[in-house]
């Protein structure tokens, strides 16, 4: 596709400013409070929580309420909920609003079987009448912005997505995020960015493009090629939170920073502390066995680090392992400079 414009450095969702125009995607099991704070420190404009069950929220699941904890350092923050019962969705949205969230998002894109079989997620895209009931019920209880995140639908044409998007705008939704893959694709194949450009021409509310962004240059390309107002980044942020800082700099014509290993390990260290403070030592250490694998991807000695990481159970073990790894990486950097 031809380039159509130079992207803006911000956009607004019903008065809520998103600057820079970068958004952290909701990632199940990943975008907890410590991860969101880390990404926000890298300059992300808007962060989303993990997908939260509306029923669990309404029926007072302690684990679910923990997932919805918000810190002032991460604002603006959107809480994403899923479900297919209009009254339950409305009650959950009201509770999200009362908790202090800046925005409520409804998931129309999750294709995981256990979600789809309840009629939620991407299943709602096959039920426009029910989708309308859900959207109207939720919009009716909210004072804060309401958004949705959707996929292409159940066929690659995009017609289901266009229909739901136009319905959403009619129901008072303030913006939408569009991941142009079908339900069957999950995360396979390639996202069809042409459909993002087509979607932008059909709606007047802000559009956030999502899918396969793996670099700042790619984020800028999506903004330019599709005309979308913002870019949502998910999987790439798991290994490279600095992608948000790089994108913000690229948008303003600045060179990418010299991201030293010391700076990267300092960021990891803060993330580890936040994880343990938030989840508790035992749970955090189990979660860190996978989270840190992404954050060290590509570093020399990462394979051995990951093997040793799989056995950590305490804060001190994680700290010692990171110190050893950091020292080894620094030593290799020195050898490279001298050679």
Angle between helices 216-226 and 193-202 (to 10 degrees): 40
Catalytic residue among 32, 44, 110, 171: 110
Backbone angles phi, psi at 129, to 5 degrees: -65, -45
d(CA 198, CA 139): 26
Q: How many CB atoms lie within 10 A of CB 308?
A: 13
DSSP state of 249: H
Cis status of the peptide bond prior to 59, with omega within 30 of 0: no
Cα distance between residue 265 and residue 287, in whole Å: 18
By the 10 Å C-beta count (0-12 exposed, 13-18 middle, 19+ buried), 107 is classed as buried
Tokens of 119: 């009629």
Rounded CA separation 220/241 (Å): 16
What does the DSSP assignment read for 120-161? -GGGGGG-HHHHHHHHHHHHHH-SS-EEEEEEEESSTT-HHH
Quick check: bond before 143 cis, omega within 30?
Answer: no
Angstrom distances, CA of residue 170 to CA of 89, 94, 116, 164, 200: 18, 21, 24, 10, 15
DSSP character for 121? G
Q: How far apart are CA 206 and CA 169, in angstroms?
A: 10
- Beta bridge pairs of residue 80: 105
Closest to 11 measured CA to CA, from 138, 179, 200, 243: 200
Active site residue 293: no
- The partner residues of 321 in beta bridges, in order of sequence, read none
- Residue 232 DSSP code: E
Instruction: Give the span between the Cα atoms of 200 and 14, in whole angstroms.
Output: 17
Active site residues per annotation: 110
């Amino acid at each position: 596709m031809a380039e159509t414009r130079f992207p803006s450095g911000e956009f607004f969702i019903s008065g809520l400013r998103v600057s820079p125009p970068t958004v952290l995607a909701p990632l199940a099991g990943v975008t907890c409070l410590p991860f969101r704070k880390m990404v926000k420190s890298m300059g992300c404009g808007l962060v989303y929580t993990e997908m939260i069950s509306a029923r669990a929220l309404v029926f007072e699941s302690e684990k679910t309420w923990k997932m919805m904890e918000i810190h002032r350092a991460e604002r603006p923050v959107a809480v994403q909920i899923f479900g297919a019962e209009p009254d339950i969705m409305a009650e959950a949205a009201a509770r999200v609003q009362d908790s202090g969230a800046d925005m409520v998002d409804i998931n129309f894109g999750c294709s995981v079987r256990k979600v789809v079989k309840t009629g939620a997620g991407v299943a709602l895209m096959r039920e426009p009448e029910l989708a309308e009931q859900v959207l109207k019920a939720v919009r009716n209880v909210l004072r804060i912005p309401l958004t949705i995140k959707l996929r292409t639908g159940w066929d690659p044409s995009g017609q289901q997505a266009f229909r739901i998007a136009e319905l959403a705008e009619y129901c008072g939704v303030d913006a939408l995020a569009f991941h142009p893959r079908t339900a069957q694709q999950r995360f396979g194949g390639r996202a069809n960015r042409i459909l993002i450009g087509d979607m932008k021409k059909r709606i007047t509310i802000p559009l956030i493009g999502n899918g396969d962004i793996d670099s700042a240059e790619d984020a800028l390309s999506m903004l330019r090629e599709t005309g979308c107002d913002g870019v949502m980044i998910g999987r790439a942020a798991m290994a490279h939170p600095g992608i948000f800082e790089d994108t913000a700099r690229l948008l303003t014509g600045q060179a990418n920073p010299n991201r030293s290993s010391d700076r990267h390990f300092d960021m990891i260290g803060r993330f580890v502390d936040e994880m343990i403070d938030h989840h508790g030592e035992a749970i955090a250490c189990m979660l860190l066995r996978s989270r840190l694998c992404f954050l060290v991807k590509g570093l020399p000695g990462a394979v051995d680090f990951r093997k040793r990481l799989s056995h950590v159970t305490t804060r001190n073990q994680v700290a010692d392992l990171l110190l050893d790894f950091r020292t080894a990486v620094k030593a290799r950097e020195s050898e490279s400079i001298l050679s």
